[in-house]
Structure 1
Amino acid sequence: MGTQAPADRPLKVTNNIDEKLAKQKEIDDWLPITSSRNAKWWYSAFHNVTAMVGAGVLSLPYAMAALGWGPGVAILILSWIITLYTLWQMVEMHEMVPGRRFDRYHELGQYAFGEKLGLYIVVPQQLIVEVGVNIVYMVTGGKSLHKFHELVCNKPCKDIKLTYFIMIFASVHFVLSHLPNFNSISGVSLAAAVMSLSYSTIAWTASVHKGVQPDVEYGYKAKSTAGTVFNFFTALGDVAFAYAGHNVVLEIQATIPSTPEKPSKGPMWRGVLIAYFVVALCYFPVALVGYRMFGNTVEDNILISLEKPVWLVAAANMFVVIHVIGSYQIYAMPVFDMIETVLVKKLKFRPSFLLRFISRNIYVGLTMFIAITFPFFGGLLGFFGGFAFAPTTYFLPCIMWLAIYKPKKLSLSWCANWVCIILGLFLMILSPIGGLRNIILQAKNYNFYS
């Protein structure tokens, strides 16, 4: 005589599933990326401007000096076209599976390459980019505050170490980092987007006002062939760093509401197009006018080359500070999401304000410490730009597109993606070489915590 299964077993299984789904929803409602999905299309515009137009725009004239007129203009235009194309691919792939949204870059990577391989490919690169940007922005914010202090302080003026200015800049983030999600930082992001357009406009209009400098030279600055080649490689990384919004684009799109009738890609793409128009308004005038006026003597931050009118250059430096405050938060938010996901889902911590407070303060403190220790602005741009930005921006979306959609061999889509992949690989291999060399050269004359 067989034993009969309890009649309430299906009910228990159903209850267990419901409990798991409820717990999963509670976690998703707490995590930064998925907690709010009511963003408007214009949120996408200024989040993307804030993510894209950052410290990199100020180094573009310096990059032009290392690239030269012909290669420099060609690389700037080509980068704008390629990155707009790969950004379109990511917007399209966000909801390519009906009923599912790839809210994070690594989730799309897992779908394209498999659960484990996707994580191994995407997460390290994305973390290098986002943590790298946060470190560079700590340096940029500190240097811009330092420059502002020099310009507005009446002589004689007490010299304050750059270390302290980086710490002042970081103090803002010990407060702002506790805003829970992307939508909660929309006001900060909007202010940052306006500031980016403002200081870019000041940079090129003040350059025009200053005029072409006496004895200006457009030849390569380095005295040796090796120096010229390495500087060229570094400049490629500077350009790659300037086009960096892809690392947060899926996370930004995740905040936009979506239905089968009105998918999120419509408003997201509208915001991206406006953002890229603003990017063009910022990048091309700053790069071309800055190089035209100062030639190969331009500094790695164009605002340092501009000394007059003092009040305008001081204002521009303060605008940079406000902008990189917003940019830091945009790039930090996906990192916070990863940290909090691991703490809550893997280590089984309970979602709480205290958990968020401790983890985020540790992260801000860590980026501040590294920035104080290694404030090599130009070299950092070149190194991070090539090593990590090139894959995630220039060719990883193309590889995912080929893996998922499998376009016909030698079709327009297949050819376009392979051209992007090959150019991106060259960028990834060459630019870190120049960036690392610059860091080594600058480190020779650097006193730690000066």
Structure 2
Amino acid sequence: MGTEAPPHEEPNSFGSVQNHDDSEKEKAVDAWLPITSSRNAKWWYSAFHNVTAMVGAGVLGLPFAMAELGWGPGVAVLIISWVVTLYTLWQMVEMHEMVPGKRFDRYHELGQHAFGEKLGLWIVVPQQLIVEVGVNIVYMVTGGKSLQKFHKTVSPDAPDIRLTYFILIFASCHFVLSFLPNFNSISIVSLAAAVMSLSYSTIGWSASLAKGVQPDVSYDFKASTSTGVTFNFLSALGDVAFAYAGHNVVLEIQATIPSTPEKPSKKPMWKGVVVAYIVVAICYFPVALIGYWVFGKNVEDNILISLEKPRWLIAMANMFVVVHVIGSYQIYAMPVFDMIETFLVKQMNFTPCFRLRFIARTTYVALTMILGMMFPFFGGLLGFFGGFALAPTTYFLPCIMWLCIYKPRKFSLSWFTNWICIILGVLLMILAPIGGLRQLILSVSSYKFFS
């Protein structure tokens, strides 16, 4: 393939340079690892993988975020986030093959090229792991809550069942799906998830519209004190940031697309990204604006919880969410599986085999399940992880890499654009976790573990 590195200079996943004698072994390992094992994806794989990665738990919390931001700031934050994240996603697609003969198949490989072999790892890997593990924990909670809502909707007179059990039910399918080897092998799951995201988003805003503006609707801030308003505002920024999370897997998705000097992977990848972002807009803006317009400050942190009728439609929407989050979990888990298996095989010298994959992936799924059971605070989790982890990797880290690598002329349009994104992203990273952490503390004060 025209864009693959020559054997004598092929970088491994953690940056060390391989000599010619090790190249065959290296190729065999890369053929086994999830990210580099298959490169025959089409542009539409990029479209539904990116939709699955972005449109998920975040869209359900957008009306709640609007209630904490208010009309003016809320609309502005939604639009600015959509524009900025589309720009930074374009940057990452462009940087995937910026060096002739190489492909930066993983986020941290790009970081190593921009910041140096060791520093790049320390900058990117912790943030990417926090994002992907954090999203998987949140999706465990989301899947469990959606199953619980489905149960209550179809059987309103049935005895209440603990959320813990629903999270366990949701997690059970991942103990099976986690053995699908790579991104291309989960394409059907991802496609189903993308269709479900569009479906339940449509149900969310259309059912809200049919319900009509509530008689007691109020667009005042949810909190009654200025302190509460401030902290809620900051947490809502994290909710919005969480809704634009696809950057953490974009290079890994692009790595599955074939590439030659004549037909680089960035062309089909960008085509898929544009389609995905159109779908994102179709999902996000109607849900956020109509949901807030109908319910005002009384909207729940999951819009589907605010909707009670028609029961069959709400039950179906919640099941759509479950199917979608199953796919989203796998999309975010795949790069983590790749990191774990790369470490075990290349650093710990374990032999690539099914037993190793079975133990590693089962352990990871079990860990995210247990943490989801222990901390099922949906709104607070969104705000905290959205600000603390997603803001750097989504809003400004690609811009910093762009400045380091391309070095645009000072005070040029590119220079100004990147620095504006960096400043906005850093502010988001600092401010949003404060509100999310406060919500987590308030939730913990009245919560019993595994209840």
Equivalents in 2 of 1:98, 1:17: separation in Å?
19
Q: Which residue of 1 aligns with 2:82?
A: 80
Q: Which residue of 2 aligns with 1:320?
A: 321
1:34 aligns with 2:36: yes
Residue among 91, 107, 110 paired with 1:108? 110
Q: Which residue of 1 aligns with 2:153?
A: 151
**1:97-146 deviation line (CA, Å, top 9, x unaligned):** 00000000000000000000000000000000000000000000000000
Q: Which range moves more in the overlay, 279-288 or 213-222?
A: 213-222
Q: Which residue of 2 aligns with 1:434?
A: 435
Residue among 88, 91, 113 paired with 2:93? 91
Aligned length: 434
Over the matched positions of the two proteins, sequence identity in percent amounts to 77
1:139 aligns with 2:136: no
Q: Which residue of 2 aligns with 1:257?
A: 258
Q: Which residue of 1 aligns with 2:354?
A: 353
Q: Which residue of 2 aligns with 1:396?
A: 397
TM-score by length of 1: 0.96
Which runs of structure 1 show a deviation greater than 3 angstroms over 4 or more consecutive aligned residues?
A: 16-19
Q: Which residue of 2 aligns with 1:11?
A: none
Equivalents in 1 of 2:222, 2:103: separation in Å?
49
Q: Which residue of 2 aligns with 1:13?
A: none
Amino acid aligned to 1:29: A
Equivalents in 1 of 2:400, 2:96: separation in Å?
15
Amino acid aligned to 1:421: I
Structure-to-structure mapping, 1:52-71, within 5 angstroms:
52-71=54-73
Equivalents in 2 of 1:221, 1:305: separation in Å?
15
Deviation at 1:158, TM superposition (A): 1.8
**1:59-82 deviation line (CA, Å, top 9, x unaligned):** 000000000000000000000000
Q: Which residue of 2 aligns with 1:340?
A: 341
Deviation at 1:154, TM superposition (A): 5.2
Structure-to-structure mapping, 1:47-446, within 5 angstroms:
47-153=49-155, 155=157, 157-446=158-447
Equivalents in 2 of 1:158, 1:146: separation in Å?
12
Q: Which residue of 1 aligns with 2:4?
A: none
**1:270-328 deviation line (CA, Å, top 9, x unaligned):** 00000000000000000000000000000000000000000000000000000000000
Amino acid aligned to 1:70: G
Equivalents in 2 of 1:17, 1:375: separation in Å?
48
Q: Secondary structure at the match of 1:59?
A: helix
Q: Which residue of 2 aligns with 1:8?
A: none
Q: Which residue of 1 aligns with 2:7?
A: none
Equivalents in 2 of 1:206, 1:26: separation in Å?
52
Q: Secondary structure at the match of 2:411?
A: coil
* Unaligned residue ranges in structure 2 (runs of 5+): 1-17
Amino acid aligned to 1:381: L
Deviation at 1:18, TM superposition (A): 5.0
Q: Secondary structure at the match of 1:126?
A: helix
Equivalents in 2 of 1:305, 1:160: separation in Å?
20
Equivalents in 2 of 1:86, 1:164: separation in Å?
39
Deviation at 1:215, TM superposition (A): 1.7
Q: Secondary structure at the match of 2:31?
A: helix
**1:188-242 deviation line (CA, Å, top 9, x unaligned):** 0000000000000000000000000012100111111000000000000000000
Equivalents in 2 of 1:35, 1:215: separation in Å?
56
Amino acid aligned to 2:230: V
Equivalents in 2 of 1:220, 1:22: separation in Å?
62
Deviation at 1:19, TM superposition (A): 4.3
Q: Secondary structure at the match of 2:450?
A: coil
Equivalents in 2 of 1:325, 1:339: separation in Å?
21
Equivalents in 1 of 2:376, 2:440: separation in Å?
9
**1:129-174 deviation line (CA, Å, top 9, x unaligned):** 000000000000000000000011152x121110000000000000
Q: Secondary structure at the match of 1:30?
A: coil
